[in-house]
């Protein structure tokens, strides 16, 4: 699938983050996860949002270092707004509120 | 609201979606809203604020209740505090004369929030597409784009919050996600859309259509029946009233209440009789308390001691019997049963819940009686120290307390024989509930119930009645309506009617044998015999009064004294007076003064009193009387016809029946 890393690479992710017309939300896990379901739900409700499923954690070391977040919300620029825990990523209301906050002008 | 607009809304959503993609690209989206593009400069649609109150339409029985009176027709609305109606009027319940679909309908307030939400989904879907399709050409356009996307994100978060909180929708996060993603079972017939608002709109349309179909089926179902019932509550006793063509009760031969107040009807005679008995009881009590005669005082003491001891014994018995009841356990079992009953409203859990709730009510009533009676017994012990006004006029007056305690005690005793049947029914339904832990909890709950009936025994009703009769013998009747919780029903039965055979239900108050101050309620219910679905019964509460200028007979307890003369004449002494007072009631007052006038319900009239101001064995006086609050407070001036040096006297008084009603209200509040 085009939105899954891999086959997409860290370079693809970086290029997308630099696009100021979109905010982004990454979910780190599997396609069958509840957290990914809620990420797709957010994508279906919020315009100008890109979502990515990161199946291989090593590709995002540049952004997370040694941390193991379950999801990351990015602003319209390439800056990180918040790392989400697994519990937070599996709370639809929390995910939507976080993305909404990430989109707020700085 | 008719179906065609809904079908249009549904079609918009059906036509709106196609397969999607996770990466919105500029100019990529062509689905849904292309024909409906929003202007980029237009603000995002606001989420309707009433999603919290969103409820799918429930069947509603269209009807209206009208009071047809000498001075016009007046609508009566349900769920209002009792509205005063004229004793000469007809209460007429009308149904639409068209098809069943018009009778079982949906009033606008239920549909409006749903239509508003559908409109929001449609606009939000278009807005979503429009924002995703923009190609910003400069920094200003990009800033605007980001702002609009942020507003849309806020709307999405707000919408989800409201959908999750709406109690009537019963949606959890996963269900919302399934709907938004087009994976919900109810959307199986639609192509999936990547626009979540399209899927939400389709889901709501499907739900709405399902409910509409169910309503249509209900309206044409011959097993759906409507029943109309009327009841009269007079001095705590409830009785069913006859409505032609809606029951087979005998009509009875009643005369209308006389507007001049000079020719009381049979029901009015009963009310006056109750007032007289109470006034005489109060007179006797005050005379005994204030008498210098020690024999009289001793007599009173003996009587009160009897009541006190017997009542204390009954209360002890009651308290011991209810001590084992554990309210926490009852609550836990009720909650579990409630959850099971919600899944299957006709199942064994629902039947168990109904019976268990009755036990809860029984024990609550027993506790309230015991608590009130303990305070009452204390008052009896200290009766010699209480002043007459404390005994009679305060909110916790002995007379008001006694009336309500004895009435509730008698009613409770009347409920006891039905308990073993309920226990047997629960034992029968228990195996059908699969939950073993719940079965055990229920068995534990039944133990105090069984012991309650065993410990109180068969004699409890007789003992309660005996204590009440002791009081009655000493101080007069208090209209102890035996088993007043149970409604007295005449020979015959109610006649439910199918939706295609509804006729107006006319309750003619002139021919219903009512007394002034009676509460009349009308109840309309709809039951689907096939599914067991019952519409929440709609009740109308009215109070019988007289509109405009009218007279009302009454009997008052009063304290009277001569204006001058020897001390025997000028002492305040208890007496009883019969009176006819004339009042004026404003129909539906709107202004402050009109409402205040009706609230005060002032009256003026004439009275005839038995007096005790001289040496004559029988003394009679007559004169004027004024009253407030339907005779709760009275005062007057009169002429004593006996052979006394001073003939003029004044008095103040109360209507104890009104006081008793207040005592009952307080008991219910407790």
DSSP of B124-153, one letter per residue? HHHHHHHHHH----SHHHHHHHHHHHHHHH
Burial B4-25 (b: 16+ CB within 10 A, else e): eebeebbebbbebbeebebebe
Classify burial at B401, counting beta carbons within 10 Å of its beta carbon; exposed 0-12, middle 13-18, buried 19 or more. buried
CA distance B204 to B171: 12
State residue B645's pLDDT score.
76
Question: Is the per-residue pLDDT at A103 higher than 90?
Answer: yes
Under 8 Å between Cβ of B230 and B521 = yes
Tell me what pLDDT residue B5 has.
43
Q: How far is B198 from chain A, CA to nearest CA, in Å?
A: 10
CB of B202 less than 8 A from some CB of A = no
B663 and chain A: CB distance < 8 Å anywhere?
A: no
For chain A, the domain total comes to 1
For residue B128, what pLDDT is reported? 94
Residue of A nearest to B150 (CA): A103
Whether A96 and B195 lie within 8 Å, measured CB to CB: no
Residue numbers in chain B where pLDDT is lower than 50: 1-40, 52, 98-99, 107-109, 395, 477-486, 666-670
Contact B26 A91 (CB under 8 A): no
B632-663 tens-digit pLDDT: 889 999 998 887 778 899 998 877 666 655 55
Residue labelled with tokens 């860290």 = A10
Burial class (CB in 10 A: 0-12, 13-18, 19+), B299: middle
Q: Which of B132, B154, B194 sits opposite A100 (nearest CB)?
A: B154
Q: Which of B23, B127, B128 sits opposite A2 (nearest CB)?
A: B23
Is-cis flag, bond preceding B558, omega within 30?
no
Q: Which tens digit of pLDDT belongs to each residue from A85-99?
A: 999 999 999 999 999
Residue A20's contacts (CB-CB under 8 Å, 6 or more residues apart) are: A76, A77, B142, B146
Residue B50: count other Cβ atoms within 10 Å of its Cβ.
14
Chain A environment of B21 (Cβ under 8 Å): 2
Position B99 scores a pLDDT of 46
Q: Does the beta carbon of A15 lie under 8 angstroms from any beta carbon of chain B?
A: no
Q: What is the extent of the structural domain holding A39?
A: 4-103
Q: What are the CA-CA distances from residue A86 to residues A53, A90, A95, B43, B325 (Å)? A: 14, 6, 11, 35, 46
Closest B-chain CA to A44 = B196
- Binding-face residues of A in 69-98 toward B, CB within 8 A: 76, 91-93, 96-97
Nearest chain B residue to A24, by CA: B23
Query: Could you say which residues from 440 to 479 on chain B have a Cβ atom under 8 Å away from some Cβ of chain A?
Result: none
C-alpha distances out from residue B169 to B57, B190, B377, B462, B648, Å: 12, 21, 52, 52, 73
Least CB-CB distance to A48: which of B132, B176, B180?
A: B132
CA separation for the pair B532, B530 (Å, rounded): 6
**Cβ within 8 Å, pair B24-A50:** yes
State the ipTM, two decimals.
0.95
Peptide bond into B55 cis (omega under 30): no
Query: Given the structure tokens 């007809």, which residue do they identify?
Result: B90
Long-range CB contacts (< 8 A, 24+ apart) of B68-75?
Answer: B68/B92, B69/B547, B69/B587, B70/B547, B71/B547, B71/B548, B71/B587, B72/B587, B74/B587, B74/B588
Coil, strand or helix at B297: helix
Distance CA B24, CA B129 (A): 10
CA distances for B418 relative to B206, B415, B486, angstroms: 47, 6, 12
The DSSP bridge pattern shows strands A49-54 and A23-28 to be parallel
The dihedrals phi and psi of B225, each to the nearest 5 degrees, come to -130, 145
Min Cα distance B189 → chain A (Å) is: 19
Q: Which two tokens stand for residue B418?
A: 């039905």
Q: Do the chains contact at B24 and A47, CB–CB below 8 Å? A: yes
Question: Among residues B26, B31, B47, B20, which one has the least CA distance to residue B145?
Answer: B26
- The tokens for B124 are 């939000």
Give the integer Cα–Cα distance in Å for B410 and B390: 26
Q: How many CA atoms lie within 13 A of B492 on its CB side?
A: 18
**Residue B297's pLDDT is what?**
62
Q: So what's the pLDDT on residue B490?
A: 65
Cβ pair B535, B525 in contact under 8 A: yes
**Could B160 and A43 be called an inter-chain contact, meaning their C-beta atoms sit closer than 8 Å?**
no
Q: Note whether B180 contacts A41, CB cutoff 8 Å.
A: yes
Q: Answer whether B314's CB lies under 8 Å from B416's CB.
A: no
Which CATH class, in words, describes the domain spanning B60-101+223-249+489-544? mainly beta
Q: Which of A104, A106, A73, A70 is nearest to A90 (CA)?
A: A70
pLDDT confidence of residue B175: 94
CB contacts of A40 in chain B (<8 Å) are 22, 177, 181
- For CA atoms A28, A33, A35, A38, the dihedral sign is positive
Distance CA B410, CA B369 (A): 10
On the 0-12 / 13-18 / 19+ scale of CB atoms within 10 A, B533 is middle
- The CA distance from A6 to B518, in Å, is 81
Distance CA(B390)–CA(B286), nearest Å, equals 11
Chain B residues with beta carbon closer than 8 angstroms to that of A100: 150, 153-154, 156-157
Residues in B 147-186 with any Cβ partner in A closer than 8 A: 147-150, 152-154, 156-157, 159-161, 164, 173-174, 176-177, 180-181
At B150 the pLDDT is: 94
Q: Looking at residue A40, which CATH number applies to its domain?
A: 3.40.30.10
Contact status, residue B85 vs residue B69, Cβ threshold 8 Å = yes
DSSP per-residue codes, B153-198: HHHHHHHHHHHHH-TTT---HHHHHHHHHT-SGGGTTS---S-HHH
Is the CB of A19 inside 8 Å of chain B's CB atoms?
no
Report d(CA B105, CA B165) in Å as an integer: 27
pTM of the model: 0.51
Selected for mutation to probe chain A from B150, B171, B195 (highest A CB count within 10 Å) is B150
Minimal C-alpha gap between A67 and chain B (Å): 26
B277 touches chain A (CB under 8 A): no
The domain limits of chain B are: 3-57+106-219, 60-101+223-249+489-544, 291-478, 548-669
Strands B224-234 and B237-241: antiparallel
């Amino acid at each position: 699938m085009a939105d899954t890393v891999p086959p997409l690479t860290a370079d693809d992710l970086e290029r997308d983050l630099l696009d100021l017309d979109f905010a982004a939300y990454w979910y780190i896990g599997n396609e069958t996860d509840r957290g990914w379901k809620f990420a797709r739900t957010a994508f279906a409700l919020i315009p100008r949002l890109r979502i990515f499923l990161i199946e291989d954690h090593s590709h995002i070391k540049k952004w997370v270092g040694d941390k193991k977040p379950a999801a990351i919300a990015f602003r319209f620029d390439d800056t990180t707004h918040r790392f989400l825990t697994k519990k937070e990523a599996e709370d639809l209301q929390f995910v939507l509120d976080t993305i909404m906050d990430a989109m707020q002008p700085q | 609201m008719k179906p065609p607009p809904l079908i249009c809304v549904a079609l918009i959503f059906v036509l709106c979606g196609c397969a999607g993609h996770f990466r919105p690209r500029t100019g990529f989206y062509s689905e849904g809203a292309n024909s409906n593009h929003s202007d980029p400069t237009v603000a995002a649609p606001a989420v309707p604020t009433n999603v919290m109150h969103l409820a799918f339409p429930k069947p509603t029985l269209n009807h209206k209740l009208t009071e047809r009176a000498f001075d016009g027709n007046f609508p009566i609305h349900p769920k209002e505090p009792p509205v005063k109606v004229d004793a000469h009027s007809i209460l007429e319940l009308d149904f639409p004369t068209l098809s069943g679909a018009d009778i079982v309908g949906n009033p606008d307030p239920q549909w409006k929030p749903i239509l508003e939400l559908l409109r929001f989904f449609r606009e939000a879907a278009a807005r979503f597409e429009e924002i995703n399709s923009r190609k910003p050409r400069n920094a200003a356009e990009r800033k605007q784009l980001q702002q609009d996307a942020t507003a849309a994100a806020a709307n999405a978060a707000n919408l989800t919050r409201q959908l999750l909180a709406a109690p009537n929708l019963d949606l959890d996060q996963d269900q919302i996600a399934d709907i938004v993603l087009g994976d919900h079972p109810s959307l199986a017939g639609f192509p999936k859309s990547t626009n979540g608002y399209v899927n939400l709109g389709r889901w709501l349309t499907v739900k709405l259509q399902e409910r509409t179909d169910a309503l249509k089926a209900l309206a044409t179902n011959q097993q759906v029946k409507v029943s109309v019932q009327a009841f009269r509550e007079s001095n705590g006793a409830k009785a069913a009233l006859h409505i032609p063509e809606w029951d087979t009760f005998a009509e009875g031969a009643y005369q209308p209440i006389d507007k001049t107040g000079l020719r009381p009807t049979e029901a009015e005679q009963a009310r006056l009789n109750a007032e007289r008995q109470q006034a005489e009881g109060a007179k006797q009590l005050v005379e005994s308390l204030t008498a210098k005669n020690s024999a009289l005082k001793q007599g009173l003491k003996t009587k009160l001691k009897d009541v006190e001891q017997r009542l204390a014994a009954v209360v002890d018995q009651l308290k011991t019997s209810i001590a084992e009841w554990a309210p926490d356990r009852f609550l836990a079992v009720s909650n579990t049963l409630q959850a099971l009953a919600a899944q299957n409203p006709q199942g064994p859990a629902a039947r168990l819940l109904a019976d268990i709730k009755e036990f809860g009510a029984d024990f609550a009533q027993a506790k309230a009686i015991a608590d009130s009676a303990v305070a009452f017994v204390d008052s009896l012990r200290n009766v010699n120290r209480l002043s007459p006004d404390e005994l009679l006029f305060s909110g916790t007056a002995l007379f008001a307390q006694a009336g309500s305690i004895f009435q509730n005690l008698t009613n409770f005793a009347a409920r006891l024989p039905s308990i073993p049947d309920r226990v047997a029914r629960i034992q029968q339904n228990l195996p059908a509930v699969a939950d073993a832990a719940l079965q055990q909890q229920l068995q534990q709950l039944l133990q105090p119930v069984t012991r309650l009936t065993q410990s109180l025994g068969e004699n409890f009703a007789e003992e309660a009645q005996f204590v009440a009769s002791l009081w009655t013998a000493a101080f007069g009747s208090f209209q102890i309506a035996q088993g007043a919780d149970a409604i007295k029903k005449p020979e015959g039965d109610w006649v439910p009617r199918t939706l295609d055979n509804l006729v107006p239900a006319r309750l003619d108050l002139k021919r219903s044998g009512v007394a002034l101050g009676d509460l009349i309620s009308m109840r309309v219910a709809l039951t689907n015999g096939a599914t067991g679905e019952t519409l929440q019964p709609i009740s109308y509460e009215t109070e019988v009064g007289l509109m405009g200028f009218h007279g009302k007979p009454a009997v008052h307890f009063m304290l009277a004294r001569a204006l001058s003369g020897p001390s025997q004449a000028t002492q305040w002494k208890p007496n009883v007076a019969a009176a006819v007072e004339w009042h004026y009631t404003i129909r539906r007052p709107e202004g402050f003064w009109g409402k205040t006038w009706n609230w005060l319900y002032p009256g003026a009239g004439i009275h005839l009193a038995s007096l005790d101001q001289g040496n004559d064995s029988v003394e009679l006086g007559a004169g004027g009387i004024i009253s407030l609050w339907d005779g709760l407070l009275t005062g007057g001036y009169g002429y004593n016809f006996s052979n006394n040096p001073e003939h003029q006297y004044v008095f103040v008084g109360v209507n104890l029946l009104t006081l008793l009603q207040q005592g009952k209200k307080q008991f219910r509040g407790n």
